[in-house]
Structure 1
Amino acid sequence: MTNAPDPRLHPYRPDLAAAWLRGRVPAERFVEGQSYHVIAPALGLRRRPEPDAALLTEALMGERVRVFDERDGWAWVQIEEDGYVGYARAGSLAPEAQPATHRVSVPRTFLYPQPDVKSQPVTGVGLNARLAIAGTEGPFAVLADGRYVYARHVRPLRDYAQDYVAVAETLLHVPYLWGGKGFTGVDCSGLVQLALHAAGHPCPRDSDMQEAALGVPVDAHGFAALHRGDLVFWKGHVGLMVDGERFLHANGHHMQVVIEPLHEAVDRIARLYGNVTGIRRMVPE
């Protein structure tokens, strides 16, 4: 199909498509879909409904997704916040009982069955996971489902971080994982999205989308005028400036999140993948 909508952000297949795509794509059926929320710590979205299919991205606990199809334990979904489409395990989705009120504001924390740090955690959850908080008990926040989380590790949904670079710095040394978006593994654009979302900035998922949508272009005069928070892009890669010289990114060379001199990253990446394609600077809204 000529000029077909980007399938990463548009749910359509030959047999089925989202109702809002009627008239734009051919499909046998069009459906509205149903809203669910993620109940696992992180839910992988895959290219195909198979456990060994490529990981595209992850939806975090409490994030809402729209389900268009479900069969054989797999759901075909679209993440409501960033629009990403993929196949996910249906057992990790549930109708939303209580709307989320808070989000996790630290790299990782635990959910407990009792308000006691000595109790065995039920599970761990990462940065930007969304939780429905019903009250407090001592130093713990009480979830609507009866579990507990350390209250200082969560913030109200709209109580955003002031410095997205500082958020990204808390994820130093997290392993690199293609498609990852959490403390157990993150890729370059997932790191940028996590940090910007924590600071209240809308942010698409992939680096090409981010380069097209975020901030304003910067002429860095040979990288001499870079600022903290500037986003540096290559084809298929992105990272954040910590200051005028140091660069923070999740990358496959170190296989983790690191800070290194920008010139070292530029030289190494140029030999393999080409030159910087753009620099973007976030501006106050």
Structure 2
Amino acid sequence: MSARDPRLTPARTDLAAESLRGQVSAPRYAAPRRMVVRAYAASLRRAPRRDAPLDTEALHGEAVDVYDMDDEGWAWGQLLADGYVGYLPADDLVDAGPAPTHRVIAPRTFIYPTPDIKAPPLGALPLAASVTAGADATAKAAAAGAAAARFTRLAQGNGQEGGYVYAAHLAPAAAAGGDHAAVAERLVGAPYLWGGRTSLGLDCSALVQLSLMAVGRACPRDSDMQAAGVGEALPVDALDQLTRGDLVFWRGHVGMMLDPRTLIHANGHHMQVAVEPLAGAMARIAAAGGGPATALRAVR
């Protein structure tokens, strides 16, 4: 039996997902409890401790299959968006309700108590968060006048408390297409955070994942997974074939091309999302011991 990637396998020494019965040995198995993230972003950690490494973040409205809830307030489960497994604060989750109708396409957008930009916001949703619009959102907005029609009313439940979001910051959940490199550009200056997945802090592979998710394209979480399956492989020495939106990989790192010579990436050198010439980034990474580029992927 081939080894399973622990990042994507809901199995630990004492428990495994029921779907793995007969494939993974465990003292007991559990069926999933479908839940969703009600926090604006929930930390997914490698162990059920606040000081455990941050592996990734689950965004508002994302679905989670939960297999265990302990007495210390931790839920152990698997994110449906990218398959990542880990521990999340149980208070950040609620049982799933209606499927989301929209996703956030702005780096961050506010939720207002009324359809008025002067109202004190209730909170802020991150890029790629999922929300459910009220069934009568369009009719109510039209009835409220032209200014209110700029907003989408959110339904209550599924972790939402209602409120209004600027409609241009949302796209239908099923919509696909668009310039994923333009999404990445809107995150220039966002701070670098290992395991982060929002404009308040994100890492290199999260920048790629969020940019693709914002235009309706599925994408795995980590750079090695992306190098193995996103887009189409190019010869590793075919730098002259790179164009906007393509990906360049190093050992443990990924960046996206804005044009044939310019790279955007979240990185620990600048400690933020930065734009720089590809040639300069390659030289600096090699000088720091990161080696040459290991893979190129065309994503068009």
TM value normalised by structure 2: 0.91
Whole-angstrom CA distance in 1 between matches of 2:296 and 2:260: 13
Q: Deviations over 1:219-240 (max 9, x none)?
A: 3646223211110001100010
Which sections of structure 1, spanning at least 5 residues, go unmatched? none
Whole-angstrom CA distance in 2 between matches of 1:252 and 1:120: 35
2:216 is the alignment partner of 1:200 = yes
Q: Residue 87 of structure 1 corresponds to which residue in structure 2?
A: 87
Question: Which of 133, 151, 154 is the aligned partner of 1:143?
Answer: 154
Q: Residue 77 of structure 1 corresponds to which residue in structure 2?
A: 77
Give secondary structure in 1 for the equivalent of 2:240: coil
Q: Residue 186 of structure 1 corresponds to which residue in structure 2?
A: 202
Q: Does the 8 Å CA contact 1:82/1:204 hold for their aligned counterparts?
A: yes
User: 5 Å matches for 1:211-250?
Assistant: 211-219=227-235, 221=237, 223-250=239-266
Q: Does the 8 Å CA contact 1:38/1:93 hold for their aligned counterparts?
A: yes
Give secondary structure in 1 for the equivalent of 2:97: coil
Instruction: Give the % identical residues.
Output: 50
- Which amino acid letter does the alignment assign opposite residue 26 of structure 1? S
Whole-angstrom CA distance in 2 between matches of 1:191 and 1:130: 17
2:59 is the alignment partner of 1:60 = yes
Whole-angstrom CA distance in 2 between matches of 1:22 and 1:203: 27
Aligned length: 282
Q: Residue 153 of structure 1 corresponds to which residue in structure 2?
A: 169
Change (3 A) 1:180 1:153: same
Structure 1 vs Structure 2 CA RMSD = 1.3
Q: Deviations over 1:251-274 (max 9, x none)?
A: 000000011000111111112211
Q: Residue 290 of structure 2 corresponds to which residue in structure 1?
A: 273
- Which amino acid letter does the alignment assign opposite residue 141 of structure 1? T
Segment of structure 1 superposing worse, 116-125 or 59-68: 116-125
Whole-angstrom CA distance in 1 between matches of 2:241 and 2:298: 11
Q: Does the 8 Å CA contact 1:4/1:25 hold for their aligned counterparts?
A: no
Q: Residue 114 of structure 1 corresponds to which residue in structure 2?
A: 114
Q: Does the 8 Å CA contact 1:246/1:259 hold for their aligned counterparts?
A: yes
Whole-angstrom CA distance in 1 between matches of 2:68 and 2:250: 35
Q: Residue 132 of structure 1 corresponds to which residue in structure 2?
A: 132
Q: Residue 48 of structure 2 corresponds to which residue in structure 1?
A: 49
Which sections of structure 2, spanning at least 5 residues, go unmatched? 142-147, 157-161
Q: Residue 11 of structure 2 corresponds to which residue in structure 1?
A: 12
Q: Residue 38 of structure 1 corresponds to which residue in structure 2?
A: 37
Offset of 1:19 from its aligned partner? 1.1
2:278 is the alignment partner of 1:262 = yes
Offset of 1:104 from its aligned partner? 0.8
Q: Residue 282 of structure 1 corresponds to which residue in structure 2?
A: 299
Q: Would you identify which runs of 4 or more consecutive aligned residues in structure 1 move more than 3 Å?
A: none
Whole-angstrom CA distance in 1 between matches of 2:83 and 2:238: 35
Q: Does the 8 Å CA contact 1:102/1:155 hold for their aligned counterparts?
A: yes
Q: Does the 8 Å CA contact 2:106/2:127 hold for their aligned counterparts?
A: yes
Give secondary structure in 1 for the equivalent of 2:241: coil
Whole-angstrom CA distance in 2 between matches of 1:231 and 1:127: 20
TM value normalised by structure 1: 0.96
Whole-angstrom CA distance in 2 between matches of 1:19 and 1:210: 28
Offset of 1:37 from its aligned partner? 0.4
Q: Does the 8 Å CA contact 2:57/2:197 hold for their aligned counterparts?
A: yes
Give secondary structure in 2 for the equivalent of 1:273: coil
2:38 is the alignment partner of 1:21 = no
- Which amino acid letter does the alignment assign opposite residue 278 of structure 1? A
Give secondary structure in 1 for the equivalent of 2:259: coil
Segment of structure 1 superposing worse, 217-226 or 262-271: 217-226
Q: Residue 145 of structure 2 corresponds to which residue in structure 1?
A: none
Whole-angstrom CA distance in 2 between matches of 1:269 and 1:111: 40
Q: Does the 8 Å CA contact 1:140/1:148 hold for their aligned counterparts?
A: yes
